[in-house]
Every structure is written in C-alpha cells, then in structure tokens.
Amino acid sequence: MYGIITFHRALNAGAVLQCYALSRYLHSIGMPNIVLDYRNSFIERQHHPFTLYRGAMLKCAARAVILGPVLATRVKKFDAFVKTHIKLSRPYMSIDELNAEADAYTAFITGSDQVFSDDCAQFDAAYFLDFPQAADKKFSYAASFGSNKLKEDLKQEYFARLSGYPFLSLREEAGAKLAKEQLQLKFPVESHIDPVMLLEAGDWMRIAKKPPQQEYIFLYTMLPSDTIFNKASELGKQTGLPVLWADDKYYRVHRGIKHRLAVAPDELLGYIAGASYVVTNSFHGTAFALLFERRLIIEAASAKGSRVANLLALLGLESKDLQQAGAEIDWAATRRRLENERQRTAEYFAKIRGCGGLLGA
C-alpha cells in the first residue's frame, strides 16, 4: 500500500481534486494507495474557519459573523466530497505518528500541490517525508516549491530534506530549474503534469454535479482583479449570457456577475464542464477548461505565471491568444500532446515501482 501525502484538507477545490486524481490514477496502474490523513495545524486552522486565531480574535469573530453560514456550508460540502471519493488512513496528528507506522506502507509519495513551499504549511517536514522510517522509500509527484526562488537561509535545510530522494518529480519547469541550479541536487529531477490532467474528461464527468443553469459564462478566479471582471462582464454583454462567479464573498458586487456560493469540488467540475465560456486566472480553472474542451479566456497577467504558462506550453497553446473570446484551439493536437505527457508519467511511476525492489505490493 502506497501512502500519499498532500493538502487534502485544504478548503480549495484544486487541492482536493488533484489529491483525488493522483489516488485514482495510481489505482488504475496497479499501485494500491491510501491518502494519509495528516493534520497540519496551519491547514487545520483554515479548514475550521471559526477557530479563534491567536492575536486575531476580533478578525475571526467578524469573519464568523459575515461569512459564517457560507463557510460552514463550504466545510460541510468539502468534508462530504473527501469522505465519498478519497480513501483516507486514520488521522495522523504529528510526524512522529507517521514515522511510527511507516512500516505499514510500501512507499510514500508527496505531492502534488505546493508541498515544498516554505509557507503553505509552515515548512512542515512531514510533506518532505523527512522522517527516519521513510528513508529509501520516499518519492514525489508534481510537487511544487510555490516560488521561483528560495530564501537563502533555507537552502541548506531544503538540501538536507531533499537529498534523501532517489529522484524528484516537480510540477513546474521552473521548479526543476530551481532544484538543479539553486540547490544543485545531483540526482535526476523531472517535471510532470498536475494529477488532474492524468484523468480524462469522462473520468471527471462521472463525479461532476450538473448545475441547474443551461447556458452561462463561468468565472473562476485565483485572485480577483478588475481586468478579469471586465473581461467577464463584457463577454456577458456580447453574448447575452449570465456570468456565474464561484466566490464566497457575497458582499463583493460586480455589475452583471452573479455569485455562486460554497461551490464544492464536484460542483466546480459541473460548472466548468457545462459552461459556454470559462473566464479564469486560475491554474486548475485553466486545466479543467482544457480537459473539457471549453471556450477559454485567460487573464493576461495570469498567462505569464509559470504554472499556467508551463501548461500552455506543454499542450502547444503558448502562441494562442487566450485573452479574447473565440480563440481557436486544435483539440485533437492538444489531446495528442496530453497523451504524451501521460505516457511520461506512466514511465515515471514504473521507475518508482522498480526502485529498490518495490513492485507495488
């Protein structure tokens, strides 16, 4: 049994769906697995939005009053999705507990998501699989540093934590370059596609929840911006279609844009799959729009970011003008490129299964 560790309890649809995808994919290639129900305290404070943060009682109280019902619904939906679709281990409350039960696992895989970030989970060593009993059986898949440059005072610690891997799989080309140039790791470092791209559209449709709307523009933002709101609003005017925005902060009002609150991971899939257009500056918004072959508009500033830019380059779309409606995409060519990346991933996991005599038992 392989143990996967990632940010499966984050209240973020992309984080939960990449976790689901990696687990399902590994099962499909004969690698039985379970997601380690590791409880990082920093992520837990986000997952339980009514916790009184130290030194921020007034802020938390205001948050509970303003967003309480929406956040409570969001937590309930996310918990239900994970319970239904992701096989979890028993809860682990510390890295010592992981270490104590390491013999129960064939090997460990960390990733995807920003598991190597120095701030997403407060640089928790558990996500680096940095505990004694994981030695000689720890691997990564599409892990991310979340940055193109490491802090100087953390480079030595990064080197120490990553030196125990036989090879690394990172999510972005920039991450692979960072590992080679800034950390000067001597073992092989590869980049691979995000796990959500390992599954086909039909796989996702089996768990997607169909939205009640028939024709609409779907707006999905990583960070809100005037640029993306203007693009969505203008497209709504041009097409006569309603613009539906997956965002919980209902008090942020924009003319012509309607909120959809507490959107669960399976609901997000349905909204993207059924949209006439997808307007986004999110990586996973882009990824799913491409998987479902939707008409797509990407905010210009986001398209320059390493994650989105890397994905577009892999699929041969870096030269497309995806900032305006009506950009033509050769979907057959895109599918071929995606299959090539999936084959590279299959070869990578075959290497893991053969490493040190591990055969996927």
pLDDT in tens, 305-360: 578 888 998 999 986 778 777 678 999 999 999 999 999 999 999 999 998 544 44
Mean pLDDT of 244-272: 93
Phi, psi dihedrals of residue 221, rounded to the nearest 5°? -115, 145
Domains of the chain, by residue range, sit at 2-199+341-357, 201-329
> Among 69-73, 123-127, 293-297, 322-326, which stretch is predicted with the lowest mean pLDDT?
322-326
**Is 2-199+341-357 a domain of CATH 3.40.50?**
yes
DSSP tag of 143: B
Work out the end-to-end distance of the chain between its first and last CA atoms, rounded to an integer number of angstroms. 6
Same fold, 2-199+341-357 and 201-329: yes
Strands (E), the chain: 2-5, 33-38, 88-92, 107-110, 138-140, 168-170, 189-191, 217-220, 243-246, 257-260, 277-280, 295-298
Answer whether 204's CB lies under 8 Å from 227's CB: no
Per residue in 264-288, pLDDT tens? 999 999 999 999 999 999 999 999 9
pTM of this prediction?
0.93
The third-level CATH classification (topology) of the domain covering 201-329 is Rossmann fold (3.40.50)
pLDDT at 303: 55
d(CA 85, CA 30): 18
Q: Please report, to the nearest 10 degrees, the dihedral formed by the alpha carbons of residues 150, 194, 73, 269 taken in order.
A: 150
- At residue 53 the predicted structure's pLDDT band, cuts being 50, 70 and 90, is very low
pLDDT of 55 over the 80 cut: no
pLDDT of 56 over the 50 cut: no
> Among 21-35, 141-155, 301-315, which stretch is predicted with the lowest mean pLDDT?
301-315
pLDDT of 178 over the 90 cut: yes
- At residue 134 the predicted structure's pLDDT band, cuts being 50, 70 and 90, is very high
Per residue in 220-229, pLDDT tens? 998 888 999 9
Phi, psi dihedrals of residue 324, rounded to the nearest 5°? -130, 150
pLDDT of 59 over the 70 cut: no
E strand or H helix at 115:
none
Mean pLDDT of all residues belonging to the chain: 90
Residues contacting 196, CB < 8 A, separation 6+: 14, 17, 18, 21, 284, 287, 288, 291
DSSP tag of 344: H
